[in-house]
Chains A and B, each alone.
Chain A
Amino acid sequence: MASTTTDRGATLEPSSHHLRAPAAPPLVLLVGNPNTGKTTLFNRLTGQNARIGNYPGVTVERRSGSSRLDGNRLVEVVDLPGTYSLSARSAEEQIALWAVLGQGQYRAPDLCVFVADASQLSRNLYLALQLAELGLPLVIALNMIDEAGDNPPNTEAIERLLGVPCVAVSARRGSGMSALLATLERALADKPTPRLHVAYPAALLADADALTASLPAPLRDTPERARAMALWALTSIEDDDELTDIDPELRRATLALRRASPRDLDQEVIAARYAYIDARLPELYKRLDRHPRKRRLSERADRVLLHPLWGFTLFMLVMLVVFQSLFSWSDPAISLIEDAFGWLRSGITALLPASIFRDFLTQGILSGLGNVLVFLPQILLLFFFIGLLEDSGYMARVAYLMDRIMKALGLHGRAFVPMLSGFACAVPAILATRTMERQRDRLLTMLVIPLMTCSARLPVYTLIIAALFPPSRVFGFVPVQGLLMVGMYCFATVMTLLSAGVLGRTVVKGRRIPLILELPPYRLPSLRGTLKMMWERATVFLKEAGTMILACTVALWVLLSFPRAPEPVTTTTPPAAAASAGSDAKARAARAESPIAQSYGGKLGHAIEPVLKPLGFDWKIGVGLIGAFAAREVFVATLGLVYGIDASDEDASPLRDRLRAETRADGKPAYTPLMGLSLLIFFAVSCQCMSTLAAVKRETKSYKWPAFMFAYMTGLAYLLSFTVFQVGRLLGF
């Protein structure tokens, strides 16, 4: 796989020739279509030192890392989001163009590397043509050359077509990498500028040239770039686009020109480019296959995998494995983490004398760390499967198979795996929405995921159902308790679908964008890439969402453990203000029978009792709800604390009996089945999970969406529980 750059063998220029200040290493951008192995190449180039950041103003992640080229020169490599074209209508799509041009807050690149899929050259070349027209210093990495079989594209012909160096590589196998590194090294010195002449219609060129006067100065530094930018404007700027940072004069002039023109400008531009490519295709290949080998094998596989019967059967099996792994296979690891923290806690408790510091360490910090780490098994497992599914090409098939159903909900087909994961846990599911390209799709999916019945709700459901519903049977054989559990799953699913429908038409409206889904050829997934992605996702979660979860755990601990001394019930301090002040003065107070009842949380429970009363809840349930904010299953333990019973989610039978026996002042049972139903519904819909909110904060990079999520879910839960309880009472239950 020898490189065919024309000046192969020329001596490398000494690095002292380069103009860059030593402080900023040269910037190399990787550009290319989706599914061209761009990220694999990025991983090859940067090894272990990739960093994840964010592009300014959007929630698209920016992956960058440093790489050493042949002459031991350090460069910074950035993996741009995959795109089919530089034309854009949203801020997300605009990233690629703004980054290659160094506009806005982007630093101008020293070199662009176009990563092409060797077996889909004609479509890939369209984007390469756009980059070349902008006159950017460019190198073509003809990737996946190993898949091109016995008919690989001719790299010299590609060099002639665009006027820049082209190197054949296989990022997956690592072949051609040294030739690529050498070419990059040389290109950083030579700045190879593309030469090409697409035969646009004369009238179109006249339009473009008229528009160049309206371009801001940096976009028209050469006549070629000015013309290319004018063509970009003509095929991107529209009345209703969502681009940012567009010069108002350029926008006005473009819209005026588009409106005035009777011609189909989009088609003129695009057809001329494809005509240029198509005319040269015969030079690029030994022969022109209508079906490249790779495609044909994939097509055979799809006859089974997309078959109405076999395809769906296999699909169900795959999804079952994913779900089962999240739901139960992650359990041993989760228990291990919980046990480890349990030992740590008891170890520290035994070692240190009783003090507020010890409690802070064990109940605040350690519990918080446990609350964060406990998500790792599910996050790692989910991203393991997502990595394999994406890499193999099957994820696109999942979207293809499920699109009909997801479309009805206003969701993208790719939302299916995150939604399914939501049945296990909302946190990894929310992280998994990243597999969707559009911000709107991600947001809508994130907002409804926490309504799915996650596994943390199960211990709560179990306790409530076992305590407050009779173990009788309907029609003599259907157990009421089992029926209720199934009912809760159905109820949650219906609520999720309804909310998706309503939110998709109101809050996250956005324009409906027609589905265009590429089904890439099947490929053997790369374990290395998958492991790397798991690692990245896990570290990002620990760093960003983790700190917030830890902080919230500590805050909840303060709320539920202070003040420590039993105090008179009448206190004038507002709980929230006092909580932040801290009060170690009364730290060593004697333990009351139920210290939690005396805490700020307990008082808060009393304070919100009037609000909860119409739902049938008393202050004790209120305290449980506050505690459950740490994690839903903590409701059981918190309620146990309120009653002074040591309850865990595995064995809550003492608490169950206590709840049954609880009576009101008039001797009637305090908790009725109606109240139980109201509580079940409240738990199904309300947003009782700070970790979910922390994950949403991390993924949307704003406090607005987690706040909205909390408000809409809790509001909806209140409304539904209120209705159920009040209507139930009127009916005499």
Chain B
Amino acid sequence: MLLSEIQTGRVVQIVSIAGQSSFRRRLMELGLVPGTRVELLRVAPLGDPVELLVRGASLSIRKAEAGVIEVMQATATPAEDAVPKSVGLAPDLGV
């Protein structure tokens, strides 16, 4: 499936990136290499661009470009975003 087709809030992992070589290179350099987990955070109010969470950073790309990124259901948890079971998402908000 393509990154442009998934729903907001879903976590997927990158399979491959097609498209113009400088663009795909830049995306990979920003950490979107095959296997990296990506969450679709939201779509901008006017329908474009989309906001992604990658390696703890938020990146926005346009839908047309999200349409050249092949993704799959996230399976194994790669090191870069593993969440040990003991650490939930909530605990240290009060700091």
Contacts and interface: CB of A to CB of B under 8 A. Distances in A.
B23 to A, nearest CB: 5
B28 A271 contact: yes
Interface string B57-82: 11111101100000000000011111
A574 interface: no
Contacts of B59: 516-519
A267 B56 contact: no
Interface string B38-61: 000110111111010111111111
A403 B45 contact: no
A166 B45 CA distance: 42
A537 B58 CA distance: 30
B45 A312 contact: yes
A241 B25 CA distance: 13
A47 interface: no
A292 interface: yes
Contacts of A160: none
B56 A514 contact: no
Nearest to B50: A400
Contacts of A296: 89, 93
Interface stretch (A57-65, A208-216, A282-290, A598-606): A282-290
B75 to A, nearest CB: 15
Given A288-B81, A404-B46, A514-B61, A120 B55 contact: yes
A266 B25 contact: yes
A281 B82 CA distance: 10
A295 interface: yes
A266 B60 contact: no
A584 interface: no
Interface stretch (A82-90, A358-366, A588-596): A82-90
Contacts of A270: 25, 28-29, 33
A517 B31 contact: no
B93 A517 contact: no
B92 to A, nearest CB: 6
B21 to A, nearest CB: 7
Interface stretch (A303-311, A330-338, A694-702): A303-311
A267 to B, nearest CB: 6
Interface in B1-45: 19-31, 33-34, 36, 41-42, 44-45
Interface residues of A, number: 56
Interface in A273-322: 274, 277-279, 281-282, 287-293, 295-299, 302, 306-308, 311-312
A311 B46 CA distance: 11
Contact of A267 (B33, B48, B62, B81): B33
Interface string A497-528: 00000000000000001111111100000000
Most chain A beta-carbon neighbours within 10 Å: one of B51, B59, B80, B82: B80
A289 B83 contact: yes
Contacts of A302: 41-42
Interface string A70-111: 000000000000001101010000000000000000000000
Interface in A525-554: none
A149 interface: yes
Nearest to B84: A287
A266 B28 contact: yes
Between B33, B49, B57, B87, the greatest number of chain A beta carbons within 10 A of the residue's beta carbon is seen for B57
Contact of B22 (A123, A238, A519): A238
A267 B22 CA distance: 12
A119 B79 CA distance: 16
Contacts of B26: 84-85, 516
Contacts of B49: 400, 403-404, 515, 517
A515 B62 contact: yes
Contacts of B65: 514-515
Given A288-B83, A293-B92, A120 B56 contact: yes
Contact of A519 (B20, B21, B31, B58): B58
Contacts of A403: 44, 46, 48-49, 60, 62
Contacts of B62: 403, 407, 514-515
B22 A271 contact: no
A714 interface: no
A516 B27 contact: yes
Interface string A254-278: 0000000000001100110010011
A235 interface: yes
Nearest to B81: A290
A158 interface: no
A567 interface: no
A520 B58 CA distance: 7
Contacts of B44: 306, 400-401, 403-404
A325 interface: no
A126 B36 CA distance: 14
A455 interface: no
A292 B80 CA distance: 12
Contact of A278 (B41, B56, B79, B92): B79
A122 interface: yes
Given A270-B33, A308-B45, A517-B61, 17 more contacts: A122-B31, A123-B30, A123-B54, A238-B22, A278-B80, A290-B89, A293-B92, A293-B93, A311-B45, A312-B45, A403-B44, A403-B60, A404-B47, A514-B19, A514-B23, A514-B62, A519-B51
19 contacts: A120-B55, A120-B57, A122-B31, A123-B56, A266-B24, A281-B79, A281-B80, A282-B79, A288-B79, A291-B56, A292-B56, A293-B92, A296-B93, A297-B93, A401-B45, A403-B49, A404-B49, A515-B49, A519-B60
Interface of A: 84-85, 87, 89, 119-120, 122-123, 126, 149-150, 235, 238, 241, 266-267, 270-271, 274, 277-279, 281-282, 287-293, 295-299, 302, 306-308, 311-312, 400-401, 403-405, 407, 513-520
What are the 6 tightest A-B residue pairs by CB atom distance, in nearest-first order? A404-B46, A308-B45, A517-B60, A519-B58, A270-B28, A85-B29
